[in-house]
Structure 1
Amino acid sequence: MIVLASRSTPAGHAGGHDHATIIDFRRRFWLAPGFTPTVLFAAVFVSASPLIVAINAQLLRFYRSRR
């Protein structure tokens, strides 16, 4: 049985967003672009760390030897 959601609003609720929800959305929206460059910058160093490079080299040798 499929139940479709009603588009009517509950009694006593105007259907709009309250002020706190809008403020929270705006705060989170501007945090995301602020953290994105930092995460991308850190990802470059993690992927180029000597340990990761050494592990990748070992895996590459292993897979080439199995052919």
Structure 2
Amino acid sequence: MTAIEPWLQEILRCPSCRSALTEGQGPDAAPELQCTGCSLAYRIDDGIPVLLVDEARTRS
């Protein structure tokens, strides 16, 4: 089961660089959306992506 609906994931874009987002897992195995263009990752809370650049995690 995915954390967010596939149709929603198709239309979501990174608020920082406007690249596509892919579903992945963060360091604590929590679901997140990872940007394919920049190094930001956005958490998903109860199936809702938190697309705030100030709250994004920088991937290494």
Same fold (TM over 0.5): no
TM-score computed with the length of structure 1 as normaliser: 0.16
Max radius of gyration: which structure? Answer: 1
TM-score computed with the length of structure 2 as normaliser: 0.17
Higher helix share: 1
Between the two structures, name the one with larger relative contact order (CA 8 Å, sep ≥ 6). 2
Higher strand share: 2
